[in-house]
């Protein structure tokens, strides 16, 4: 069980220790929680899928190194992420490379370095990769990303079903894919679809995967391809806000299991490895953003706690990372209500920046906050430091702390100012 759920008081002591030893603001990652979520995922979906971790969700090298013998694959989206993954000990043959604007300067080191699969998102990219592979005397394995014509409702972000920079539109595949197949230094080994993300509705996820299977079947038949690998962009969401519930994997397997079995029964896919690509589902709930209250003021009937970390350190929690309507994340005061000595009340929580949008919570009910208190914001293990404007107003960068069991260590990737 996640340490935060197994013994909240003991975990609060770990959060307080991390803040005391390494400073605030800080991201604290608990590997026990990642391991628990991975085991849960494999127990429900491992019958069909290998697991690929999307590095963009959390590129912390210490975390990537910890994942090395626990996950099957990594998916990167830049040359920089390729370098980070290699430095963290990942073999290049276990890495795939997505992204709609790949350039020669990042493709060349990846292809020459033995990249497992290049995920092609356009004919332009295929022709560029073919030329690089030719100069290297190499035939590069590739997956072709397809953008389906439809994405079910229920996804927080859609990357298909409308004009999109991602992948080859399904309706253009019959024209473009044969041109890619004709390039002599590329070998098509499969297909890739990632069309929607952050979904908490099992029926929408299942409908989306059915669309994937239909597109995969039709495309492979048209190319007469017996794929080695097919990538399913998971779309599995996590609860961020009060009232949201954890995604029910049992409901997903009950609804989609027969479809996946039938898909695998097709002789064309008998030797195909299905891969579930995801990021935040594994690491999001395994991270907490810890920030310290440095000032408290009463302003026109509201109590405002002003903290040392704000949107510069955690853009997502401030509601400025793709959130249409700003909602509070789940959060708590480290140390709780001190046995009732801290009555709960509604408060606003702001960061240190000179902008009105630097707000971490509005009207959140917490034990009364005072100067020096620590606030822990939940579900911050994905899209944290690397997705935030760290240099805005030049405050100190957040620390990153890795908790492994009872031990903890500084795992900060981005140097402090």
Q: Is 199 a catalytic residue?
A: no
Task: Please identify which residue in the block is written with the tokens 């979906």.
Answer: 45
Show which of 278, 302, 336 is a domain's final residue. 278
Tens-place pLDDT, residues 8-64:
899 999 999 999 999 999 999 999 999 999 999 999 999 999 999 999 999 999 999
pLDDT tens string 257-278: 999 999 999 999 999 999 999 9
Range of the structural domain that residue 182 is part of: 91-278
Residue 378 near residue 285 (C-beta atoms within 8 A)? yes
Domain count of the fold of the chain: 2
Give pLDDT, residue 414.
Answer: 85
CATH at residue 243? 3.20.20.10
On whether both 304 and 221 belong to a single domain, the answer is no
Bridge-based pairing of strands 287-299 and 331-333 is unpaired
Q: What is the CATH classification number for the domain harbouring 345?
A: 2.40.37.10
Residue pair 274/230 in contact (Cβ under 8 Å)? The answer is: yes
Does residue 415 lie in a domain region?
no
Asked if the structure places residue 224 within a domain, the reply is yes
Is there a single domain that holds both residue 159 and residue 198?
yes
Strands 73-76 and 49-54: parallel
Could you give the CA distance from residue 338 to residue 245 in angstroms, rounded to a whole number?
Answer: 27
In sequence order, the 6+-apart residues with CB closer than 8 A to the CB of 405 are 31, 32
Handedness of CA 30, 5, 331, 239 (dihedral sign): positive
Phi first, then psi: what are they for 170, rounded to 5°?
-55, -35
**Domain assignment present for 358:** yes
Tell which of 261, 278, 295 closes a domain.
Answer: 278
pLDDT value at residue 91: 98
Per-residue pLDDT, averaged over 304-312, amounts to 97
pLDDT surpasses 70 at 324: no
* Residues 263, 117 within the same domain: yes
At residue 229, the 3 state secondary structure works out as: strand
Has residue 417 got a pLDDT over 80?
no
In percent, how much of the chain has pLDDT > 70?
Answer: 98
Q: Residue 264: what pLDDT?
A: 96
Mean pLDDT lowest for which of 205-214, 280-289, 321-330, 333-342?
A: 321-330
Query: Do residues 267 and 236 share a domain?
Result: yes
Asked which of 246, 278, 310 is the last residue of a domain, the reply is 278
pLDDT in the model for residue 239 = 96
Assess whether 294 and 223 both reside in one domain: no
Is 68 part of any domain? no
E strands, 254-320, are 273-278, 287-299, 302-307
- Alpha carbon 75 to its chain centroid, in Å, reads 10
What is the H or E stretch that residue 196 is in? Answer: strand 196-199
pLDDT value of residue 339? 87
- 199, 206, 307, 354: the catalytic one is 354
pLDDT tens profile 126-167: 999 999 999 999 999 999 999 998 988 988 887 787 788 999
Please tell me whether residues 148 and 251 are part of one structural domain. Answer: yes
pLDDT in tens, 358-400: 999 999 999 999 999 999 999 999 999 999 999 999 999 999 9
State yes or no: pLDDT of 125 exceeds 70: yes
Least confident of 290-299, 319-328, 386-395, 402-411: 319-328
Tell me, what's the pLDDT at 43? 98
**DSSP 8-state class, residue 151:** -
Dig out the tokens for 231 from the structure: 């990538």
Q: Are residues 306 and 252 in the same domain?
A: no
Say yes or no to pLDDT of 69 above 80: yes
Q: Is 18 exposed, middle or buried (0-12, 13-18, 19+ CB in 10 A)?
A: buried
Same domain (yes/no): 166, 100: yes
Confidence of residue 1 (pLDDT cuts 50, 70, 90): low
Same domain as 330, residue 400? yes
Q: Rounded to whole angstroms, what are the CA distances from 188 to 100, 120, 274, 277, 417?
A: 18, 10, 15, 19, 45
Residue 86 has pLDDT above 80, yes or no: yes
């Amino acid at each position: 069980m996640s340490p935060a759920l197994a013994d909240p008081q003991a975990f609060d002591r770990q959060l307080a220790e991390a803040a005391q030893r390494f400073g605030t603001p800080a991201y604290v990652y608990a590997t026990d929680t990642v391991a628990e979520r991975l085991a849960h995922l494999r127990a429900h979906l491992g019958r069909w899928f290998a697991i690929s971790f999307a590095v963009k969700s959390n590129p912390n090298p210490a975390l990537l190194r910890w994942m090395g013998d626990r996950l099957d694959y990594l998916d990167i989206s830049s040359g920089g992420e390729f370098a980070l993954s290699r430095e963290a000990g990942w073999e290049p043959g276990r890495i795939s490379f997505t992204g709609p604007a790949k350039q020669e300067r990042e493709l060349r080191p990846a292809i020459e370095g033995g990249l497992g699969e290049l995920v092609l998102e356009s004919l332009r990219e295929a022709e560029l990769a073919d030329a690089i592979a030719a100069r290297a005397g190499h035939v590069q394995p590739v997956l072709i990303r397809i953008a389906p014509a439809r994405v079910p409702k229920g996804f927080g972000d859609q990357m298909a079903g409308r004009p999109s920079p991602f992948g080859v539109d399904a309706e253009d595949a019959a024209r473009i894919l044969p041109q890619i197949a004709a390039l002599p230094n590329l070998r098509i080994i499969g297909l890739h679809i990632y069309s929607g993300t952050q979904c908490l509705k099992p029926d929408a996820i299942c409908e989306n995967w059915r669309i994937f299977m239909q597109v995969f079947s039709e495309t492979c038949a048209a190319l007469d391809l017996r794929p080695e690998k097919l990538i399913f962009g998971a779309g599995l969401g996590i609860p961020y806000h009060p009232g949201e519930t954890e995604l029910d994997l049992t409901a997903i397997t009950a609804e989609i299991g027969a479809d996946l079995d039938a898909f695998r029964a097709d002789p064309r896919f008998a030797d195909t490895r299905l891969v579930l690509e995801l990021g935040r589902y594994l690491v999001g709930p395994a991270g907490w953003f810890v920030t310290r209250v440095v000032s408290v003021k009463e302003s026109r009937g509201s109590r405002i706690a002003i903290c040392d970390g704000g949107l510069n350190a955690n853009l997502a929690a401030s509601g400025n990372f793709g959130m249409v309507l700003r909602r509070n994340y789940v959060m708590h005061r480290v140390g709780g209500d001190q046995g009732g000595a801290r009555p709960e009340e509604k408060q606003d929580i702001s960061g240190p920046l000179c902008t009105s949008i630097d707000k971490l919570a509005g009207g959140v009910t917490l034990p009364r906050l005072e100067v020096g208190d620590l606030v822990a914001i939940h579900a911050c293990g994905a899209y944290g430091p690397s997705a935030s404007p760290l240099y805005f107003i030049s405050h100190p960068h957040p620390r990153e702390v890795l908790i492994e069991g009872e031990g903890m260590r500084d795992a900060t990737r981005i140097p402090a100012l």
